[in-house]
Chains A and B, each alone.
Chain A
Amino acid sequence: MSKKVGPSRRAMLSVGLAGAATVASPGILRLTAKAENAPIKIGMPLALTGALGSVGQQLKRGAELYAKLQNAKGGILGRPIELLIEDTAGNPANCVRKAQEMVERQNCRLFTGITLSSEALAVVPKLAEWDAVFMSSDNGDGRLTAESFVPNFFRANISGPMGTRAVSLYLRSGKAQKFYALGLDYAWGHNSVQVFEDEVKKSKKDFLGKVFAPTGTKDYSSYITKIRQSGADAVFLVLQGDDNNAFLSQSQQYRLSEKVRLLTEIVDLASIRAVGDAALGLIGSSRYSFTYDYPLNNEFVALWKKEHDGAVPDTFEGEQWQAMKVLEAGITKAGGIEAAKLRPALEDIEIESVKGKVHIRKCDHQGVQQGFMVEVVKQEGIATPIPKVIATFPGESTTPKCNSMTFDD
């Protein structure tokens, strides 16, 4: 019995208090009138620690710089941006719980930056119930815009299948015939390796085999042995964070790249810095790089350098920046952040971004954008190797069919 009484009494009390306060104080009335100027809360339950902590940290920095600069300009629609940042340690259950808390306690209705695809897949089924919009800035798993698609989900970033497709389009003209694949043993790794396998088979080349390593693997020697034994000309890597660093460091110690070409779904600057010359020669698709030569990117890189003592932005800092810009365009067009208004506003929106044009297509909310292939090279005067763009592909050729993860040709 007492359990039932508790909340209702508390609710009554708060309603009563709020009412009394409203009547008593004209100040409150001003506040209510100002509700339109209330902060725009953007929830970011990020993997700030754990094996993918470096990715979460990048997403955080990207969003923070955007919020700082945008708030200095008066925010969006005259409302300041408030980022709600929490650490999930990369655990899907944690992520859902933190997001739920943001919805219930802080009345948050916007999400971005959720780090792992497994976390994103856990969150999307709840979006309708929360009446919240989630703008992905780094989730790779193709299912998020295919079988697991929900209307309140949008993806501003290049997905795993899109990155993989750029690699496979690039390989069609290359000499390598026999391929092997190594992916991280979770949603994104399996998804991208599958797409790669299909692409290789379609282009009538040999797919020799694949293997998956659990996140947090410290010793990659067994996997390196497998790759060497496969007899492949090239290995396709779907690795990230600490695992990527461990693999690249160890494969260099084994001189693996002298025998097998290293291809990767994602070339990430933080990883290049962490492994140094071990990244040289790596060829892969890139989701963002400071080396892209577009006016808006040059502007963004300059802003970033000014803010961060001359450092250049990393992959996910750029991706998060783009996601914020898409979100901003949508909110401005919708005139608010309510899902019912924001959703149609974001559908079919097109903005000029750091990577050229990004068009959020209506059918599955994927941001259609160019695909980039880069090679990690040494440049005069810079100690750390940099990703150099070696090919670009139009968004139409790298984006899968609507609500799917496959490609026609």
Chain B
Amino acid sequence: MTTLAFLLTESLNALSQAALLFFLGVGLTLIFGLMRIVNFAHGALYMLGAFVGYSLAKGSGNFWVALVGAPLLVGMFGAGFELTVLRRLYRRDAHAFLMVTFGLALVVGEAVRLIWGPDALQVAPPSALAGVVFLLDEPFPVYRLFLVATGIVVAVAIWQFLERSKLGLLIRATSQNADMASALGVDVKRIRSSVFGIGCALAALGGVLAAPLVTASNGMAATVIIDAFVIVIIGGMGSFLGSLIGALLVGFVQVFGNYYLPDLALAFMYLVMLAVLVVRPGGLLGKET
């Protein structure tokens, strides 16, 4: 393997991991930015996405149905949860949200175990994406290229949505000053439900897309929630661009760290986080409050 081929394939690997991390991180950061809620259930919803995706793919025989359906269903579940439970808590302090979303994580985790059983389940990539392409004579999975492409498409879409659409404008307004937005006639309640739903849908999208790489398993929630928090902390709580940069940093650090210094594989991500926090306590693009 030439150095160039190595750098190319590893960078693509890092980008594909960054894409998965970004789906998680951006949902978490959008929710935090708007509602000042740290959603502890984010990992569980990611897992729920993978399992719902498994059932949809199996039932329809089509991965694409799962890819669209799972985020939709989990997003609706999230919006419903905001409408029925979280909405009652906005006047309370932040601890209430911690308890409730942590509780949701436990409930979703157990529900998945009861419905789908304790064993890991296979979600095969669609046959069109199952092959390899040769990049500088090195085989590279098409599915990983698809992840990179999806990551780019989703990132651009969210960015355009926030910057250009009416709802995006209202979301930005509400996250800057909810009271003022409300006074100007913005339906803040509706905005909150939609954003919580969108955040959950993005987590589920990450789950469905990760399933062909890691299978749908009960353990996936626990390992992923930490990564998501690290990304959001590195990028700055509430910053869209921050979560993108955070995901890229963590993706590259993990892939290249695992290669060059596998003994420190676990520590790398935290070292980066530590370094960022020392220089900028609010995260790279966060407000230093």
Contact = CB atoms under 8 A, between A and B. Distances in A.
Contacts of A225: 1, 6, 9-10, 13, 259
Interface in B166-208: none
Interface string B116-156: 00111110110000101000000111011000000000000
A273 interface: yes
A219 B262 contact: no
8 contacts: A48-B118, A219-B213, A221-B13, A228-B1, A246-B213, A270-B120, A273-B122, A274-B121
Interface stretch (B83-91, B97-105, B220-228, B236-244): B220-228
A239 to B, nearest CB: 13
B6 A242 contact: no
A50 B222 contact: yes
A218 interface: yes
Given A50-B222, A216-B223, A219-B255, A245 B217 contact: yes
A275 B255 CA distance: 23
Contacts of B94: none
Given A217-B265, A242-B215, A249-B214, A54 B120 contact: yes
Interface centre among B122, B213, B214 (most CB of A within 10 A): B214
Contact of A57 (B118, B125, B220, B256): B118
A372 to B, nearest CB: 22
A241 B6 CA distance: 29
B29 interface: no
Contacts of B254: 219
A131 B121 CA distance: 41
B219 A254 contact: no
B144 A218 contact: no
Given A218-B220, A221-B13, 6 more contacts: A211-B262, A214-B265, A218-B223, A222-B259, A245-B214, A245-B215
Contact of B215 (A214, A216, A217, A246): A246
Contact of A219 (B9, B17, B132, B215): B17
Given A222-B13, A242-B219, A276-B124, A214 B255 contact: no
A223 interface: yes
Interface of A: 48-51, 53-54, 57, 185, 211-214, 216-219, 221-223, 225-226, 228-229, 241-242, 245-246, 249-250, 253-255, 270-271, 273-276
B258 interface: yes
Contacts of A250: 141, 213
A249 B212 contact: yes
A274 B258 contact: no
Contacts of A51: 219, 223
Contacts, number: 125
A90 B254 CA distance: 24
A250 B262 CA distance: 18
A242 B217 contact: yes
Given A54-B217, A225-B259, A242-B219, A255 B119 contact: no
Nearest to B259: A222
Contact of B255 (A57, A211, A221, A246): A221
A253 B219 contact: no
A253 B125 contact: yes
Nearest to A224: B13
A254 B141 contact: yes
A214 B139 contact: no
Interface string B251-264: 00011101100110
A218 B224 CA distance: 9
B214 A222 contact: no
Contact of A218 (B119, B139, B210, B256): B210
B73 to A, nearest CB: 23
Nearest to B132: A255
B215 A274 contact: yes
Contacts of A212: 262-263
Given A225-B10, A229-B1, A253-B132, A246 B259 contact: no
A242 B262 CA distance: 19
- Top-6 shortest CB links A-B: A222-B258, A274-B120, A253-B141, A57-B118, A221-B13, A222-B259
Interface centre among A212, A229, A254 (most CB of B within 10 A): A254
Contacts of B17: 218-219, 221
Interface centre among A48, A245, A255 (most CB of B within 10 A): A245
A379 to B, nearest CB: 18
A222 B219 contact: no
Given A249-B214, A254-B141, A276 B122 contact: yes
